Structure 1
Amino acid sequence: MTLQISQAHENRLVPSLKFSTEAVPAAQQFEAWRAFNSMAELEPVTPPMEGFKASSASYHLGRLQMTSFQLAPMNISYTRDIQRKIGLDHWCLSVVTRGPVNYENNDNEVAVSPGHLLLHSYAAPFSGAMTNTHYSSLFFARDDYWDIAEHLERGSHQLVQGPMSHIVRDFMLSMIARADGLTMADASALNDAFGHLIRAMVINDPASLEAARAPIAAAQFDRARRFINANLQWPGLTPDAICANVGVSRRQMFYLFEQHGGVATYVRNRRLAACYSALVRADDGRNISSVAYEFGFTNLSSFYRQFSARFGFSPSEARAAAQYGRPPHSDEATFSDWLMRLSEI
């Protein structure tokens, strides 16, 4: 009974809080946002009567809090009075996906363009300017990172740079993409992974890097996976091109994709999955050869063999079955075998 309760807790989605001004009358949108977000003094750039489109989605990940913002132009000011009032003693690591965002602290001005990280501390005042900005932040308590507090303070209110900054950015983007499906078990693992990554980023010694090896590999794999999926139609999608764009060596790329049979096998399987998805779409009337060529299969006979070996049925059987609303015939031994073949589609 205890085990069942524990498993139910681990599989439960993390608590979340979402807010949007979309349903609020335009003239009242800014005040609605200001009432919801009382962490700073807010000032609209355009007249409030013109409306203020903004939204946020927050996820409670145990000791971490993740929030994604989409904001209309505005100015913010985090003052000493607000700091004393709310008693927030956290660092905040943000990745900007649409911007830029401008921050100022003690006469130090920082412009954060999309794709970059900013670290700032809620122990000190700061101000900022948003221009139709999208960004996501991880809030983490000072007491949980006392061992690297000195390093974090030196890097506060600055752009985070260096090789590990790209790894941490990709880790955060992966979390953001999966936010609505994160479970309590995921939250525990993400706390551990973030702890190792942030320590490796600010200390960058052999021990910290070794402790962060697993989450670093996971972030690199996710970056490579996203690059591959975005470029399945590119004829130049070779292992060397993937290494160059992801920023890893061939040796590291082999390690990342070892359990998938290698990067070339992974790319081929993703392309086959893309072909399958196209062939079973009712609105895709292209012939099979056109679909195959689109995703890099220049030899049609070879494509048929690889498709049949991957899924257990031919491309023409997949298309015919979709047209008649029935599953294609498969030579797989069991339903679970067949399902695993389709799990990447």
Structure 2
Amino acid sequence: MSEPLPILRYSTEAFPPEERYARWYLRDWPRQRPIYRTQPTEPFDTSWETAQLGSIIFAAATITAMRWERHIQDIRDSDFDPIILNLMVRGEAQGQIDGLPFHETAGMGHFHDLSLPSLHMSTGSFTYSFILPRPVAEAWFAPLHDLRALVLTADQAALLIDFAAAIHRAMPTLTQAQAEPLGRSALELIATVLKAARPSTTPLISADEALHLRASEAIERRLVEGDVSVEALCKILGVSRARLFAAFQKDGGVQAFVLTRRLDNARAALADIYRHETIGTIAHRLGFSDAAHLSRSFRARYGMTPREYRQLVATNLQVMRTSTAPER
């Protein structure tokens, strides 16, 4: 006789309200390090049920309103890059994934590629999720580039939500022998829905938007070690200064965009509790002339010095650790 399907359950209900967010944020599922940078926007509470269905993970989650961020540095430091299909039963989420906007309301779904930077806000919600390891997603749904912020309409998502609800209801009675067939059925159903949900043609973008995308990729590759001057970028991209300036007009210019990316990376490095580079090293690595240059630019953007920001991160982390320390 097959063994019962293992179900991982997690809830913050038993913790004092002031400890619930820290307890959840520092949990070790699905990875020991947090996957998102999160900030509750109302008193925090959550409960989860997850199960492994063959090669994929199924999750049912209730969680209060939150801001979610995933930065390029987080992606570089992580080995967790699945495709997540989120199905919204109650609640709402909206934001952007790699610059592409999405808006999901109750009864809809969206795909989230964790190999890409993102920022979104969610209300209090109840969701079902299928977490698809990248090799599995590539085998079933490649190419994946058009899934990064793909939204399923209510009509498209309805069948998947019904299937997920049936799995959730049956979880207490499922066996390990049933897990693999259920996971495969989920993949087959997702593939069927995707045939209708995927755009039949690639949306057209303007010449300036296409150049902005190419230039942004070039800047990202050369940001740490490389020349990102206007002259160098024009040579790499084979365009004139006027064309390049036009493409970055909405960003305040090419160098303003480069500075923003450097400051984003500096903020991620300052918040990295595992490495603690010196501020001077961060400044040199990211192309600032010296620590003072980084400090002036950082204060102008964030209203505090790099040292003050690092101390704020350390203080917040200490508060979370203290609140989750076991009583003696």
TM score, norm. by length of structure 2: 0.54
Task: Select 1:160's aligned residue among 146, 152, 160.
Answer: 152
Q: Give CA-to-partner distance per residue, 1:213-270, whole Å, 9 cap, x none.
A: xxxxxxxxxxxxxxxxxxxxxxxxxxxxxxxxxxxxxxxxxxxxxxxxxxxxxxxxxx
Aligned-pair CA distance for 1:160: 1.9
Letter in 1 for 2:23: A
Task: Select 2:132's aligned residue among 140, 157, 161.
Answer: 140
Output the CA distance in 1 between the equivalents of 2:167 and 2:176.
13
Letter in 2 for 1:20: S
2:167 is matched with 175
1:54 is matched with 46
Aligned-pair CA distance for 1:138: 0.6
Output the CA distance in 2 between the equivalents of 1:70 and 1:165.
19
* Match status 1:96 vs 2:88: yes
Alignment CA distance shift 1:163-1:42 (3 Å): closer
Relative contact order higher in (CA < 8 Å, ≥ 6 apart): 2
* Match status 1:190 vs 2:182: yes
Percent identity at matched positions? 18
2:76 is matched with 84
Letter in 2 for 1:18: R
Letter in 1 for 2:137: Y
Output the CA distance in 2 between the equivalents of 1:114 and 1:69.
14
Letter in 1 for 2:5: V
**Which structure 2 residues correspond to residues 19-58 of structure 1 after superposition, within 5 A?**
19-36=10-27, 38-46=34-42, 51-58=43-50
Alignment CA distance shift 1:25-1:164 (3 Å): closer
Aligned-pair CA distance for 1:135: 0.8
1:251 is matched with none
- Please tell me whether the aligned partners of residues 97 and 114 of structure 1 are also in contact (alpha carbons under 8 angstroms): yes
Residue 136 of structure 1: SS of its match in structure 2? strand
Letter in 2 for 1:129: M
CA radius of gyration, larger in: 1
Q: Aligned residue pairs: how many?
A: 191
Residue 18 of structure 2: SS of its match in structure 1? helix
- Please tell me whether the aligned partners of residues 99 and 118 of structure 2 are also in contact (alpha carbons under 8 angstroms): no
- Please tell me whether the aligned partners of residues 87 and 157 of structure 2 are also in contact (alpha carbons under 8 angstroms): no
Alignment CA distance shift 1:13-1:81 (3 Å): farther
2:254 is matched with none
* Match status 1:18 vs 2:14: no
Output the CA distance in 2 between the equivalents of 1:106 and 1:39.
16
Structure 1, unaligned stretches of length 5 or more? 1-7, 205-345
1:249 is matched with none
Q: Give CA-to-partner distance per residue, 1:180-235, whole Å, 9 cap, x none.
A: 3221122111122122222222346xxxxxxxxxxxxxxxxxxxxxxxxxxxxxxx
